[in-house]
Amino acid sequence: MPERIEVELTFRGESAEEAKNALTAAGGDGVKSHSALGLTGVEEIIFAVMVVEGMAKLVTTLVRQWRCGIVVVVGVDGKKVSTEKNCDIPRGSVLLVHPDGTQATLQEPSEPQLGSWFKDALKI
């Protein structure tokens, strides 16, 4: 069975339904969401579990849908990926944060580019 990881999406000002659909289309299971008060107001947080290969598909979908950039952080243990909309990053850009703290920014990345990065970051 392929390795599964926890995924957390945090955003505001975007369609929660579209984000849930993107998660489901990328193979997310157990999709749950709730609203929470964040630093910038009420944010939507969506949780799911998915296979690693689906992460590249999810991020490429969201980078096209969302009106701002995205920050993707792989947890130190490699078992959780947090994805957050960030308007300090230009639309179409993805800031990738590796478990070792190194960072890379990609502009409108392809699924293969992201897939390769996730495989390295998650040691697959």
Per-residue pLDDT tens digits of the chain, which is 124 residues long: 457 889 999 998 898 899 999 999 999 999 999 887 766 667 899 999 998 889 999 999 999 999 999 999 999 988 899 999 999 999 999 999 999 999 999 999 999 999 999 989 988 7
- What gap in Å lies between CA 11 and CA 68, rounded to an integer? 10
The helix or strand, by DSSP H or E, that contains position 113, with its residue range, turns out to be helix 111-121
DSSP symbol at 5: E
Question: Residue 64 CB: number of other CB atoms within 10 A?
Answer: 11
CA–CA–CA angle 14, 19, 24 (5° rounding): 170
* pTM assigned to the model: 0.89
